[in-house]
Amino acid sequence: MNESYFEVIRPGINTTFQDLGRKNLYHIGVPFSGAMDNRNYTLANAIVGNKINAPAIEFAFQGPLLKLRGETIIFNITGNITFNILKKNKTIEGNCYQSYILEDGDELDIASTNNSVYGYLAIGGSFDIEAQWDSFSTNIKAKIGPNDGKKIEKDQMIKIISANSKTSTRKLDYLNTKIENIRVIKGTNFNYFSAESKKNFFDKEFSVTKLSDRMGMRLEGIKLKNDVDTNIKSEGIIKGVIQVPSDGNPIIMLSDHGTIGGYPKIGVVISADYDKLVQLPPGSKIKFKEIDLASAELLFKLYQMETMNLVSKIK
Amino acid sequence: MIKNISNLGDAALYCDFGIEVNKETNAKVIKYFKNIKEKKIKGITNITPSYNKLIISFDLSLTKFKELKKIIENLELKEILNNKGKIIKIPICCDKKFALDINNLEKKLNISEEKIYEKFFSKDYYCYMTGFIAGHPFLGDTDISLRAKRLETPRVRIPKGSVGITEQFCNIYSFESPGGWNIIGNTPLNIFDNTNELKPNLINPGDTVSFEQISIDEYKKYYE
């Protein structure tokens, strides 16, 4: 029996367990949740040889500082992250998409995400956590999921079970690229907006504000004017929906979004661009580009093929 | 019965049942919701019923808009057994410390506090949908004299259990959350139980809610 655990010396800003999300619960108000950046989550698990939906630790901006106690494990970190491995007599500067060995007493210091928001830590083996509604995703607002529905906190222990350190260390050459435009399909209330605002929506730049989290991304820019009604009868929403409340500033619904909303929907971000969207930190500029359904479907296929191709290149 | 199906982005169907918000339209939405849920159609990841819409989201790697639209359009609808909702009694305490907006409402509606509560407690409410936050029910319809707009600036924190009204609807905040409804009381009952995976929601779409006014002493007893 393997007895290992992480001691949380510093929890980081928003560190939670996540997996591929929680299905079939929108009708009772429970959001999908899951890893914000699916590709990086997938690659993190693939590099340490885990199942595709194994829970990983997601962090935002500043990550955790963890001390390993017990038996040796392997881990890797994905995203665009600065991290160090602190051993008794040396410090190793870590590279993303490369697995490393961590021994009893070693510390893993995930200092920051660079020009991005989220990163993932996967270990070979699994954490000792329980699924809720078939998912290991934590939703801190509704207190659902592992760790009693809470963020990972200072001084807690994260138990590791069935640690698998036998796999040789592996690596992938990959660099996250920034996205030029966020592609969107017109929303169901697109025609609520003035002719000028419809044009501005696709012509002007919007910036990501600090009021952005796992629930939503608030944007600022030229105000979008609504000619019909600034409220609609509340109805279901999905991630990627861009709602515009009466103040004229768009809000993009992200993975922990409320399941029902009453603001007009001007657009919906396509599935293929979601991972790149969520990685835009506050202050980033966004430009929307209109796209039709058929092209969006094709782009999603390409996105998936690219992910699979990356997985196959792990050596 | 669905008036129109369009796409909401590339991974959801937007089923429109018409502009009217009433029990009849909503019953159709719920009937579709239950039928689709029972059929376990490949690729569907979520089905969200609301007053007069049904959003069906799906996994784009397993199905596509056109494919799923065809399935929904040709769906054979069964009458749903147990379609009659339950009747649920919800105690509310309207003590001043809970009724955050009662004085504002008196002004907004131009009727007295006594009259507001008399009208509010004189009828039962139908649950159109649950959501926004987990377990949160959207109930209706309130008396015509009680229909007020949302707060101009929504509150950042509404206490758990708060009962609010706006337009023709009332709701219960299942846990602390931001929100803009006019708060008139608070229930000590747990509306959403995250430890009960089978039945997390106290109130479900199609149920009827009967509110009962309780005193502050009775309210406190729930926590003893």
The pTM (predicted TM-score) of the whole model is 0.94
- All structural domains of chain A with their residue ranges: 4-161, 182-311
Residues B176, B65 within the same domain:
no
Task: Fill in the DSSP letter of residue A239.
Answer: T
- Inter-chain CB proximity A260 and B194 less than 8 Å: no
Residues B118, B175 within the same domain:
yes
The answer to whether the beta carbons of residues A60 and A117 sit under 8 Å apart is yes
- Inter-chain CB proximity A29 and B130 less than 8 Å: yes
- Inter-chain CB proximity B8 and A241 less than 8 Å: yes
User: Residue B184 domain-assigned?
Assistant: yes
Give B153→chain A minimum CA distance, Å: 11
User: Residue B112 domain-assigned?
Assistant: yes
The answer to whether the beta carbons of residues A22 and A138 sit under 8 Å apart is no
| B223 burial type by CB count under 10 A (0-12 exposed, 13-18 middle, 19+ buried) | exposed
The tokens 């990841």 sit on which residue?
Answer: B45
- Quote the tokens at residue A214: 């796992």
How many separate domains does chain B show? 2
- In order, the DSSP letters of B110-144 are TS-HHHHHHHHHTS-EEEEEE-SSTT-EEEE---G
pLDDT at residue B81, as a whole number: 65
ipTM: 0.94
pLDDT at residue A180, as a whole number: 81
**Number of residues that this document lists for chain A:** 315
Q: CA torsion, points B26, B175, A149, B40, in degrees to nearest 10?
A: -10
Task: Fill in the DSSP letter of residue A181.
Answer: -
On whether any CB of chain B is under 8 Å from the CB of A297, the answer is yes
Chain A residue nearest residue B136, CA to CA: A29
- The edge-to-edge listing of strands for the beta sheet with A73-78 is A16-18, A56-60, A118-123, A73-78, A100-102
- Inter-chain CB proximity B9 and A141 less than 8 Å: no
Give A260→chain B minimum CA distance, Å: 4
Question: Cα(A55)–Cα(A145) distance, rounded to whole angstroms?
Answer: 11
- Inter-chain CB proximity A270 and B12 less than 8 Å: no
Q: Name, in order, each residue with C-beta under 8 angstroms of B222's C-beta and a sequence gap of 6 or more.
A: B91, B188, B189
Question: Cα(A196)–Cα(A92) distance, rounded to whole angstroms?
Answer: 54
Give B211→chain A minimum CA distance, Å: 21
Residues of A in Cβ contact (< 8 Å) with B37: 24
- Inter-chain CB proximity A260 and B129 less than 8 Å: yes
The answer to whether the beta carbons of residues B108 and B82 sit under 8 Å apart is no
User: Residue B81 domain-assigned?
Assistant: no
| B91 burial type by CB count under 10 A (0-12 exposed, 13-18 middle, 19+ buried) | middle
pLDDT at residue A1, as a whole number: 47
pLDDT (tens, 9 = 90+) of chain A, 315 residues, equals: 458 999 999 999 999 999 999 999 999 999 999 999 999 999 999 999 999 999 999 999 999 999 999 999 999 999 999 999 999 999 999 999 999 999 999 999 999 999 999 999 999 989 999 999 999 999 998 899 999 999 999 999 999 987 666 667 889 988 888 788 999 999 999 999 999 999 999 999 999 999 999 999 999 999 999 999 888 899 999 999 999 988 899 999 999 999 999 899 999 999 999 999 999 999 999 999 999 999 999 999 999 999 999 999 999
- Quote the tokens at residue B73: 């359009």
On whether any CB of chain B is under 8 Å from the CB of A298, the answer is no
On whether any CB of chain B is under 8 Å from the CB of A39, the answer is no
From B73, B97, B116, the end of a domain falls on: B73
Minimum-distance CB partner of B11 among A28, A143, A271: A271
Q: Name, in order, each residue with C-beta under 8 angstroms of A20's C-beta and a sequence gap of 6 or more.
A: A34, A35, A38, A41, A52, A53, A135, A137
Residues B49, B94 within the same domain:
no
CATH value at residue B20: 3.30.1360.40
Helices (H), B8-149: 23-39, 65-73, 102-109, 113-121
Residues B139, B209 within the same domain:
yes
Closest alpha carbon to A235 in A1, A18, A20, A27 = A27
User: Residue B101 domain-assigned?
Assistant: yes
From B73, B97, B118, the end of a domain falls on: B73
Minimum-distance CB partner of B9 among A25, A240, A261: A240
Q: Name, in order, each residue with C-beta under 8 angstroms of A305's C-beta and a sequence gap of 6 or more.
A: none
Task: Fill in the DSSP letter of residue A238.
Answer: -
pLDDT beyond 80 at B82: no
Give B37→chain A minimum CA distance, Å: 9
CATH value at residue B201: 2.40.100.10
On whether any CB of chain B is under 8 Å from the CB of A230, the answer is no
Which class would CATH give A182-311? mainly beta
From B73, B102, B133, the end of a domain falls on: B73
Residues B95, B197 within the same domain:
yes
pLDDT at residue B79, as a whole number: 82
Structural domain range at position B26: 4-73
Residues B65, B92 within the same domain:
no
pLDDT at residue B83, as a whole number: 62
Residues of B in Cβ contact (< 8 Å) with A238: 8-9, 11-12, 46, 55, 57
pLDDT at residue A107, as a whole number: 98
Give A282→chain B minimum CA distance, Å: 21
- Quote the tokens at residue A95: 């590279």
On whether any CB of chain B is under 8 Å from the CB of A29, the answer is yes
φ and ψ of B113, to 5 deg: -55, -45
Residues B47, B17 within the same domain:
yes
Say what angle helices B102-109 and B113-121 make with each other, to 10 degrees: 90
B88: β partners: B209
Q: Which residue has the higher pLDDT, B178 or B52?
A: B52
SS3 (DSSP) at B187: coil
Residues B60, B146 within the same domain:
no
Distance from the first to the final alpha carbon of chain A: 29
Residues B54, B93 within the same domain:
no
Residues B187, B144 within the same domain:
yes
Residues B68, B93 within the same domain:
no
**Average pLDDT value for residue range B69-98:** 90
| A181-217 burial: b if 16+ Cβ within 10 Å, else e | ebbbbbbbbbebbeeebbebbeeeebebeeebbbbbb
User: Residue B195 domain-assigned?
Assistant: yes
Taking CA B71 as the corner, what is the angle to CA B66 and CA B77, rounded to the nearest 5 degrees?
150
Residue type at A179 in one-letter notation: I
CA distances to A174, A303, B60, B130 from A306, in Å: 11, 5, 15, 38
Q: Beta strand B4-7 with B12-16: parallel, antiparallel or unpaired?
A: antiparallel
Residues B213, B131 within the same domain:
yes
Residues of A in Cβ contact (< 8 Å) with B54: 236
Residues of A in Cβ contact (< 8 Å) with B10: 185, 268, 270-271, 293, 296-297, 300
- Inter-chain CB proximity B53 and A236 less than 8 Å: yes
